[in-house]
Amino acid sequence: MFIFITPPTSRVAVENCSKTVNIIQFNMFYKNQDINDFINYLISNPVDLVVLQEVGLKQREELILLSDIYPFQYGTEASIRIPVVSQMILSKSPLLDMSFFHTHDGWDIVNGLWHSSSEEIIRFFSVHLPSPRTKSLWSRRNMLLSTMEYIVNQYQLDDILIVGDFNLSSNSARFYSLFSKFQTEPVVTWPNWNFLLAWPIMPYFSMISIDHLWFKSANTDWQICSRSSKESISLKSDHRMVLTKIGH
């Protein structure tokens, strides 16, 4: 079942949040060789956590240099093998017990503890699922969704944050069946027509939300305060960057 309702570019779930933490997620696009605008944004607008997909080797080398702002990084060490999706995590505060679950068909689910700048310890997952361009990839994506749900269910007593490119529209029935006890606020992220077309003519309502974030607070009154997709920072990727604020 698929109901086409275009998500907004921004959502405000809670006005006047306090003790907020800011999270950026962005599928950078492998072939993007010029990430200066994005790096300048991270320097000028430092956030608490940055979750990236499709980070190429050249991009990774440039992002590592932000260690003075984001001293805690995952996916940068030569010993870390994240072969398919090239995920990378940058944080201003400690990332603890970071690891990845490698599926039998070659995909990875990153798992760890994020000791946020607000002193909360949050169980953290990030993922990049395959695009369902064929029946085989569609089945693989759905299998990975089930795997992720199973893993997440092992941590029911934790505050949990799930972030990534799920290649699953928020208009789908499957999306609404996922992580039922979690809060989520879909915003449009794909496709970024300004990148794909020299003269963008496709209307806004042709965009969907596939870059998602779910949050569940088991021990605090934290919640998603707002989410917004940033078109101006994402011109060299087919995805828009998303900024999420979580707080009290």
Q: Six-digit token pair at 140?
A: 């693989």
Name, of 82-86, 146-150, 160-164, 179-183, the range with top average pLDDT: 160-164
pLDDT at residue 76 is higher than 60: yes
**Cβ–Cβ < 8 Å for 209, 192:** no
CB 21 within 8 A of CB 118: yes
pLDDT score of 80: 55
For residue 63, the surrounding DSSP H or E stretch is: helix 57-64
Stretch 33-49: mean pLDDT:
91
Distance, CA of 197 to CA of 114 (rounded, Å):
38
Q: Say if residues 40 and 242 touch (Cβ distance below 8 Å).
A: no
> Is residue 39 within 8 Å of residue 90, measured between CB atoms?
no
Cβ count near 84 (within 10 Å): 14
Handedness of CA 79, 123, 54, 21 (dihedral sign): negative
Both tokens of residue 120?
């909360």
Could you tell me what percent of the chain has a pLDDT over 70? 87
What was the pLDDT predicted at 100? 82
Distance CA 119, CA 135 (A): 44
Residues 187-230 pLDDT 10s: 999 877 665 555 455 555 678 999 999 999 987 788 999 999 98
Name the pTM for this structure: 0.90
Q: Which domains does the chain have, with CATH numbers?
A: 20-247 (3.60.10.10)
Rounded to an integer, what distance in angstroms lies between the CA atom of residue 74 and that of residue 87? Answer: 8
Give the pLDDT confidence of 105-146 residue by residue, as tens digits. Answer: 667 789 999 998 777 889 999 999 988 889 999 998 998 999
Residue 89, φ and ψ in degrees, nearest 5: -120, 130
